A and B are shown apart, each in its own frame.
Chain A
């Protein structure tokens, strides 16, 4: 009797252990970074992402290839846990071969040793993209992926209200400010634009002005978020805040959407994907918007960029050559790009993609204007000198925190830049990077 009870105890314990091991063990399987090819079996490349249209693009790839097959898996959007998932998988050694990594986060992935250098498999690919787009996937001479879409900036404006208030479409920032002043004097409840509280939305203005935040040279980082050039851009926007020319609604908030809808805010100088946001969040003002080139700084024809999501080759990929080739195909072939453009409204980074007939379609929200044609011209002017940094989560949250205080006048944009500079340098030093 005693013996059986003991046996039962052991059995119960062992069963529980086995159950747990089975449960714990199964998590890691199934998403290995691509199986090696045996004669006849195609190489399988797992691809993680969340953008609409990617699934159809993967299907198009598979239909066109027999030796390599893509397995697309939808994950949560990067900042909503997708990036954590990828970094954890890289750490655990079971990451997929390809992952969607936003351009602004891409360099931080590189600087955490989470990406694979595939430059040897992508020779000649650089020619298929504008210089600025290609720069986002490279660091020094290494290349870690292929850009899919880009965030070339432009001026989205209410054509009807501009006309009503007698405002000409500004081509320079000085004209932009003058138009804002004229508008605000005529009607103090109206604003020419909104100061972004989101660090990345703000970054596009620095990007355009050539006000670098980071540079990587001689195997060391340097951080210049509060440089003289950056202070110049900050002071320009600060003066518009102080004079009440621009509003200070929080980025991404319903209040800003409402202000776009009801004509409180007349324009947005933003990335090409702003079109999609306006179309879905400012429906009431459909047909009244138009797009023009981004206002320029004196003596410069440079344009800014915000966002874009390259496909990165993650560390530990067993078939980096096939993965890189697949990524290049996805970004340059019409069969792959068309569903992405049609379903996700993304603006292709490759020059071949920008020349697709689908890009010439007019959009109802913009009074039938073929807005992508504006961006196709502008994307050649995107300043190619921009470099993202190694600890962007720290940098962007510090800057957003600071920008959030500007509206309440408890801080200036220059203060926000200083705060971001301090926090970024501190984190870079704490993690042991070389800093210059």
Chain B
């Protein structure tokens, strides 16, 4: 997806730089370097091909066929090449479109909340406003160490309408809380995601903050900038690449949402079996592989598009 043209106004200058032909000697040297590196890279390349590229190509290839059974289906299916028929079906499948809308909504609300929290925590720890930064770092990071399914089970228990200590506690003080109603479900899922991933993103932003040279911060202080001002005008712009990175990871992660809703389904039977696109694809896997492949490919393309658009939006504002 990175083949899309990147950068509006600055594109011309960059393009010109790229077009400049390098010195022939340099080119020769780099070709030798590639040849030398190749044997070392071969094991990686083979694995990369075998478990990444080939399955992707196979999925795309499969998605162009339709399962074609006859009568009661007593004989094996003879797949028929039907081009984009599966894609037309998926794009007209209200259940699949609904799952896409759901993750889009969850991402649009949850990712900004989570990243702003992560950034704020990272800045606080970096500014050493409280003693014991190491302990805070570990505490915030801890939820990430828990496997997604375990976190899902734990939160399911806390959300469960009859067994949850939280629900019972709130009931005792007269608050009628439901975490598993149709309307509450997306927010309950967002809460798990935020709980699990804020610390992880904070660590990425924090390590980026650590690499800011001391003299820059010192210079800002000498110029009379307050801690707030330094954070906002010096530190945040300097860790922008890290924030963009965490944002892209989060967009991809949300689009591939699976563990949390699947485990929550045990306490929330109203959570449909095609709540997210991946759930929807896996549901059709055994009986209709090509259609499942189609959904997976569509999701991959959409994630690619979203990431590309996001990169483009964030690059345009970069200083030239």
Identify the A interface with B (CB < 8 A): 5, 8-9, 11-13, 16-17, 19-20, 24, 83-84, 87, 108, 110-114, 117, 139-140, 142, 197, 216, 219-221, 249-255, 258-259, 315, 390-391, 393-394, 397-398, 400-401, 403-405, 407-408, 410, 427, 430-434
Contact = CB atoms under 8 A, between A and B. Distances in A.
B160 A255 contact: yes
Interface stretch (B6-14, B72-80, B116-124): B72-80
B163 A113 contact: no
B76 A315 contact: yes
Interface of B: 35-36, 38-40, 42-43, 46-47, 50, 66-77, 89, 157, 160-163, 181-182, 266-274, 283-288, 291
A-B residue pairs, 10 tightest by C-beta: A404-B269, A12-B39, A111-B73, A113-B76, A397-B273, A197-B269, A219-B71, A9-B39, A16-B43, A250-B269
B50 A24 contact: yes
A27 to B, nearest CB: 12
Contacts of A140: 72
Nearest to B283: A397
Nearest to B50: A20
A84 B292 CA distance: 13
A216 B71 CA distance: 10
A266 to B, nearest CB: 17
23 contacts: A12-B39, A20-B46, A83-B286, A84-B286, A110-B72, A111-B69, A112-B69, A113-B76, A142-B74, A219-B72, A220-B71, A250-B268, A251-B269, A315-B76, A393-B286, A403-B269, A404-B268, A404-B269, A405-B269, A431-B67, A431-B73, A432-B69, A434-B72
Contact of B182 (A139, A253, A410): A410
A249 B287 contact: no
Contacts of A110: 72-74
A330 B74 CA distance: 26
Given A9-B35, A84-B286, A408-B181, A111 B72 contact: yes
A315 to B, nearest CB: 7
Contacts of A221: 72
B39 A432 contact: no
Given A111-B73, A433-B71, A393 B266 contact: no
B43 A407 contact: no
A405 B270 contact: yes
Q: Which of B89, B182, B267, B273 has the most CB of A within 10 A?
A: B273
A60 B111 CA distance: 58
Contacts of A9: 35, 38-39
Given A13-B38, A408-B181, 7 more contacts: A111-B69, A111-B74, A219-B72, A254-B163, A255-B267, A404-B271, A432-B70
A234 B319 CA distance: 65
Q: Which of A110, A253, A390, A407 has the most CB of B within 10 A?
A: A253
Contacts of B266: 250, 252-253
Nearest to A196: B269
A13 B75 contact: no
Contacts of B89: 430
A397 B89 CA distance: 19
Nearest to A108: B287
Nearest to A254: B163
Contact of B161 (A12, A255, A394): A255
B169 to A, nearest CB: 17
A87 B160 CA distance: 35
A139 B284 contact: no
B270 A258 contact: no
A13 B283 CA distance: 40
B69 A431 contact: yes
Contacts of B75: 113
A408 B162 contact: no
A408 B182 contact: yes
A83 B182 CA distance: 31
B67 A432 contact: yes
Contacts of B160: 253-255
Q: Which of B43, B50, B66 has the most CB of A within 10 A?
A: B43
A403 B273 CA distance: 12
Contacts of B287: 108, 112, 391, 393-394, 427, 431
B40 A113 contact: no
A111 B74 CA distance: 5
A249 B39 CA distance: 60
A288 B274 CA distance: 40
Contacts of B77: 112-113, 431-432
A389 B38 CA distance: 54
B301 to A, nearest CB: 21
A258 B163 contact: yes
A8 B39 contact: yes
B50 A431 contact: no
B267 A250 contact: yes
A8 B73 CA distance: 54
A390 B287 CA distance: 9
B73 A433 contact: yes
Nearest to B163: A255
A401 B98 CA distance: 14
A136 to B, nearest CB: 16
B263 to A, nearest CB: 12
Contact of A220 (B67, B72, B274): B72
A12 B44 CA distance: 12
Contact of A432 (B38, B66, B283): B66
B89 to A, nearest CB: 7
Given A255-B160, A258-B163, A432 B68 contact: yes
Contacts of A394: 283-284, 287
Contacts of A431: 66-69, 73, 77, 287-288
Contacts of B35: 9
A17 B162 CA distance: 57
Contact of A401 (B72, B163, B272): B272
A81 to B, nearest CB: 10
A403 B265 CA distance: 13
B273 A113 contact: no
B213 to A, nearest CB: 42
B70 A433 contact: yes
Contact of B42 (A12, A112, A433): A12
Nearest to A14: B42
Contacts of B72: 110-111, 139-140, 216, 219-221, 390, 433-434
B41 to A, nearest CB: 10
Given A219-B72, A432-B70, A408 B270 contact: yes
A24 B49 CA distance: 13
